[in-house]
């Protein structure tokens, strides 16, 4: 069975973990600090603050933006449920906007129709590694409306020649195994805003005003205070050691992922009924995933679910496209209708994509997909 994805670990990651264990410093310490500066450099941001996941990164980023009960935050429904859940964790209400029919990213024109006096921020999701229309989103609300990038899928993706991660007020990344680089679990907040970075640093470790690393450097001569309700969202140095090795390989991993996507695009472009991922000229896609849409056509043409079933029989994993959040039982009482989101979600599927996908396996996938969609 060809899997949908797989993490890419080598001996260097294993050695890095062994080194950390020898030092005896296993939670948020020097390795986390090293990983943070590497991610800041990749994201083109002045600050990076590590957390346990992108979900917890989003939670803290929203609090640091001042979002709380009574506030509305506009986000896409065509995204992983964590985007909306984090807004609720912060006490606010997610308001779902539709996506653009070509890019499948949040549509600034639709966002503009949903802005109310309660709207306190807009969340841009760079879905599956394609940067959202950030300039459009910056002008979708009133001047100064905070913009948060959910860049969970998008480390290494660019928007207008610059990496994602510092285009809005704050951005959040994920290092879950479904993403291009991973340490099992892990997240990061990036920002150019010194106050936001400082606030997130405080909140991730119980609200303590002095970190363990700072106290260690001062040889126990400084004491922390607690002024605000914080959380334990600390990454471990064990994970950060893996992250440091993974990010050293990021360019290589991204180049290999893009090569896989380029081969898919060449094989599928112009093939009815497949719509390949958009490649707008303002963005370089990082291909966290490869998603195709099967346009509805003549009656009797195999449906998306027929294709997934056929691929399983052929030993190839695939998955239905992103499930819209507004259709989940947790959110469905809101009764919103998002026609583009619903159509794209019903007609799209994920195909296998990972850096070490063998060319022969990919040729088999392409062959079976073409057969399944035209049968
Ligand atoms: C994966 C993902 C998340 C959640 O990331 P975790 O690190 O698993 O918490 C959030 N938003 C989007 C768009 C994602 O794809």
Q: In tens digits, what is the pLDDT along the chain, a chain of 375 residues?
A: 999 999 999 999 999 999 999 999 999 999 999 999 999 999 999 999 999 999 999 999 999 999 999 999 999 999 999 999 999 999 999 999 999 999 999 999 999 999 999 999 999 999 999 999 999 999 999 999 999 999 999 999 999 999 999 999 999 999 999 999 999 999 999 999 999 999 999 999 999 998 888 888 888 788 889 999 999 999 999 999 999 999 999 999 999 999 999 999 999 998 989 999 999 999 999 999 999 999 876 677 889 999 999 999 999 999 999 999 999 999 986 678 899 999 999 999 999 999 999 999 999 999 999 999 987
Question: What whole-number distance in Å separates Cα of residue 189 and Cα of residue 46?
Answer: 11
Q: Is 138 a catalytic residue?
A: no
Using the mean position of ligand 1's atoms as its centre, give its distance from the Cα of residue 371 in Å.
33
Structural domains in the chain?
Answer: 11-249 (3.40.640.10), 251-374 (3.90.1150.10)
Q: Residue 213 has what pLDDT?
A: 87
Cα angle for residues 247, 251, 252 (degrees, 5° grid): 105
Question: What whole-number distance in Å separates Cα of residue 174 and Cα of residue 165?
Answer: 12
Q: What is the DSSP letter of 105?
A: S
β-pair type (170-174, 147-150): parallel
Question: What whole-number distance in Å separates Cα of residue 128 and Cα of residue 76?
Answer: 13
Q: Residue 296 has what pLDDT?
A: 78
Catalytic pick among 31, 160, 179, 248: 179
Q: Residue 100 has what pLDDT?
A: 98
β-pair type (93-97, 72-76): parallel
Residues with a CB atom less than 6 Å from ligand 1: 53-55, 79-80, 82-83, 125, 150, 152-153, 174, 176, 187
Q: Residue 221 has what pLDDT?
A: 87
Tokens coding 205: 């470790």
In this structure, which residue's CA is closest to atom 5 in ligand 1?
54
Question: What whole-number distance in Å separates Cα of residue 64 and Cα of residue 45?
Answer: 17
Question: What whole-number distance in Å separates Cα of residue 44 and Cα of residue 163?
Answer: 6
Question: What whole-number distance in Å separates Cα of residue 189 and Cα of residue 165?
Answer: 9
Residue with tokens 């290092």: 175
Question: What whole-number distance in Å separates Cα of residue 342 and Cα of residue 322?
Answer: 10
- Ligand 1: atom nearest CA of 125 is 13
Q: Residue 333 has what pLDDT?
A: 67
Name the residue of 149, 174, 319 to mutate for ligand 1: max ligand atoms within 8 A of Cβ. 174
**Whether 218 contacts 191, CB under 8 Å:** no
């Amino acid at each position: 069975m060809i899997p949908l994805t797989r993490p890419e670990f080598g001996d260097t990651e294993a050695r890095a973990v062994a080194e950390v264990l020898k030092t005896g410093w296993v939670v948020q310490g020097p390795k986390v600090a090293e990983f943070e500066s590497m991610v800041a450099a990749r994201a083109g941001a002045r600050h990076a603050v590590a957390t346990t996941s992108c979900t917890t990164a989003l939670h803290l980023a929203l609090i640091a933006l001042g979002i709380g009960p009574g506030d509305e935050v506009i986000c896409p429904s065509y995204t992983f449920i964590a985007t909306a859940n984090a807004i609720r964790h912060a006490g606010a209400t997610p308001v779902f906007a539709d996506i653009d029919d070509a890019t499948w990213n949040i549509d600034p024109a639709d966002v503009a129709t949903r802005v109310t006096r309660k709207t306190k921020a807009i969340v841009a999701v760079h879905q599956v590694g394609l940067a959202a229309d950030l300039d459009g989103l910056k002008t979708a609300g009133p001047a100064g409306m905070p913009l948060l990038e959910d860049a969970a899928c998008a480390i290494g993706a660019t928007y207008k020649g610059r990496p994602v991660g510092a285009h809005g007020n704050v951005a959040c990344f994920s290092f879950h195994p479904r993403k291009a680089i991973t340490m099992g679990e892990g997240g990061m907040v990036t920002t150019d805003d010194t106050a936001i970075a400082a606030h997130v640093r405080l909140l991730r470790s119980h609200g303590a005003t002095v970190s363990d690393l700072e106290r260690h450097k001062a040889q126990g001569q400084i004491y922390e205070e607690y002024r605000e309700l914080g959380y334990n969202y600390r990454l471990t140095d064990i994970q950060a050691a893996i992250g440091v090795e993974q990010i050293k390989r990021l360019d290589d991993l991204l180049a290999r992922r893009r090569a896989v996507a380029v081969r898919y695009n060449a094989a599928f472009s112009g093939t009815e009924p497949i719509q390949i991922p958009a490649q707008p000229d303002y963005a370089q896609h990082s291909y966290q995933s490869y998603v195709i849409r099967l346009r509805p056509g003549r009656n009797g043409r195999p449906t998306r679910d027929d294709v997934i079933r056929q691929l399983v029989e052929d030993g190839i994993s695939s998955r239905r496209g992103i499930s819209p959040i507004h259709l989940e039982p947790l959110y469905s009482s809101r009764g919103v209708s998002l026609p583009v989101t619903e159509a794209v979600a019903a007609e799209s599927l994920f195909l296998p994509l990972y850096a070490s996908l063998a060319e022969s396996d990919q040729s088999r996938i392409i062959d079976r997909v073409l057969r399944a969609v035209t049968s």
